[in-house]
């Protein structure tokens, strides 16, 4: 159910301090730590000696020391010190993962190291570009990551889930346009001449009828950039105020996901009160998503139904995203089979 050859967000960089941090991605417990000289490392969270989580350990200079018997590993996962013995066995090591620090986040490559290319980290530059003012947040959601994708690719739910913040009836009524490339799906809605939802009034100052739009740009397997904007219906698009909403979803287990998000804007950049308002309102909005998604996850587990036993026109984006993920997983399987066949032939 998971694409392995992909960059996944593991933490906001600001949340990685002097102490090792435990993060589970794709069902694998990992430890994230920064050495004293600043090198970021991600390793399997298991001491090669007696399996105690290394995240329970302590940073000692460039190494991570297990808090059980004191073995030390370096940022590449090699055991470099064993108390009481000089010989270090060859298998005294843990898997180290390629890592990239980009756009305020630590990204981890969970697949074959040979394919890791830091240039392919999702473009979330809005989070640290001085041209944009951003706020960020995090939710842990007890739901399959694909349900989070579905949620962001069908924003008609704003009308019903988020009617106290970003939605009203006009959203669900607006027609939807879906475009697809090999790795991206774009779902667009123009919502013309509508009442501004509560968040839009405060976040833009527009309290008359507005034209608004949003485009969800989904990149396989689980990142989304939502472009949105609005302007008074009585004026023109040149008066629009735009935002970008960034979503990096990292599967933790088959039924839980990390959800790293951010909202960036280019207007009133120094208005800190507005930044805080947007952060709090977005957190509240995603609390509402969390509640719905966790209810949905439980219901699907109970009934054993597929997520799309009844598919509607607005499900086109979500269904295409699932197909794109399935194609990528199938390709990874073929790749692994090919490698295994080569090994057998040798």
Q: Report the nearest approach of Fe ion to the CB of residue 102 (Å).
A: 25
Residue 279, token pair as written in the block: 């952060």
Cβ distance to Fe ion smaller for residue 102 or 224: 224
Q: Report the nearest approach of Fe ion to the CB of residue 156 (Å).
A: 10
Cβ distance to Fe ion smaller for residue 5 or 165: 165
Answer whether 70's CB lies under 8 Å from 136's CB. no
Q: What is the DSSP string of 160-194?
A: HHSTTTT--HHHHHS-EEEEE-SSEEEEEEEEEEE
Cβ distance to Fe ion smaller for residue 45 or 289: 289
Enumerate the β-bridge partners of residue 282.
Answer: none
Q: Give the DSSP letter of residue 129.
A: -
306/345 Cα distance (integer angstroms): 40
Q: Report the nearest approach of Fe ion to the CB of residue 141 (Å).
A: 11
Cβ distance to Fe ion smaller for residue 165 or 219: 165
| Cβ partners under 8 Å of residue 340, min gap 6 | none
Cβ distance to Fe ion smaller for residue 147 or 210: 147
Find the radius of gyration of the CA atoms of the chain. Answer: 22
Q: Give the DSSP letter of residue 82.
A: B
**Which residue, judged by CB position, is nearest to Fe ion in the bound state?**
289
Cβ distance to Fe ion smaller for residue 59 or 290: 290
Q: Report the nearest approach of Fe ion to the CB of residue 197 (Å).
A: 12
Q: Give the DSSP letter of residue 26.
A: T
Q: Report the nearest approach of Fe ion to the CB of residue 214 (Å).
A: 11
How many CB atoms lie under 10 A from the CB of residue 49? 15
Q: Report the nearest approach of Fe ion to the CB of residue 158 (Å).
A: 6
CA-based max dimension of the chain? 78
Q: Report the nearest approach of Fe ion to the CB of residue 200 (Å).
A: 15
Binding site for Fe ion (CB under 5 A): 289
**Closest to 320 (Cα-Cα) out of 147, 123, 179:** 179
Cβ distance to Fe ion smaller for residue 40 or 143: 143
């Amino acid at each position: 159910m998971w694409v392995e050859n992909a960059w996944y967000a593991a933490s906001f960089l600001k949340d990685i301090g002097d102490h090792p941090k435990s993060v589970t991605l794709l069902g694998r417990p990992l430890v994230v730590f920064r050495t004293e000289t600043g090198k970021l490392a991600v390793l399997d969270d298991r001491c090669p000696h007696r399996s105690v989580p290394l995240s329970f350990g302590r940073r000692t200079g460039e190494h991570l020391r297990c808090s059980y018997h004191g073995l030390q590993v370096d940022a590449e996962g090699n055991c470099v010190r064993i108390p009481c013995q000089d010989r270090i066995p060859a298998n005294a090591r843990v898997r180290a993962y390629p890592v990239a620090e980009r756009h305020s986040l630590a990204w981890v490559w969970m697949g074959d190291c040979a394919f890791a290319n830091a240039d392919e980290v999702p473009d979330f530059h809005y989070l640290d570009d001085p041209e944009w003012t951003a706020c960020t947040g995090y939710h842990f959601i007890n739901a399959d990551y694909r349900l989070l994708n579905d949620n962001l690719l069908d924003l008609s739910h704003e009308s019903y889930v988020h009617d106290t913040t970003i939605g009203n009836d006009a959203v669900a009524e607006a027609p939807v346009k879906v475009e697809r490339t090999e790795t991206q799906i774009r779902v667009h809605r123009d919502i013309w001449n509508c009442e501004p939802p509560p968040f839009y009034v405060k976040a833009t100052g527009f309290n008359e009828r507005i034209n608004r739009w949003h485009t969800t740009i989904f990149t396989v397997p689980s990142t989304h950039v939502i472009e949105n904007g609005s302007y008074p219906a009585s004026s023109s698009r040149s008066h629009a105020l735009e935002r970008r909403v960034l979503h990096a979803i990292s599967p933790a287990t088959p039924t839980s996901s990390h959800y790293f998000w951010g909202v960036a804007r280019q207007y009133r950049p120094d208005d800190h009160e507005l930044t805080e308002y947007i952060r709090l309102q977005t957190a509240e909005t995603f609390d509402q998503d969390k509640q719905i998604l966790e209810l949905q996850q439980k219901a699907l587990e109970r009934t054993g139904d597929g997520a799309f036993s009844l598919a509607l026109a607005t499900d086109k984006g979500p269904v295409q995203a699932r197909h794109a993920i399935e194609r990528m997983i199938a390709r990874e399987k073929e790749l692994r089979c090919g490698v295994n066949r080569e090994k057998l032939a040798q």
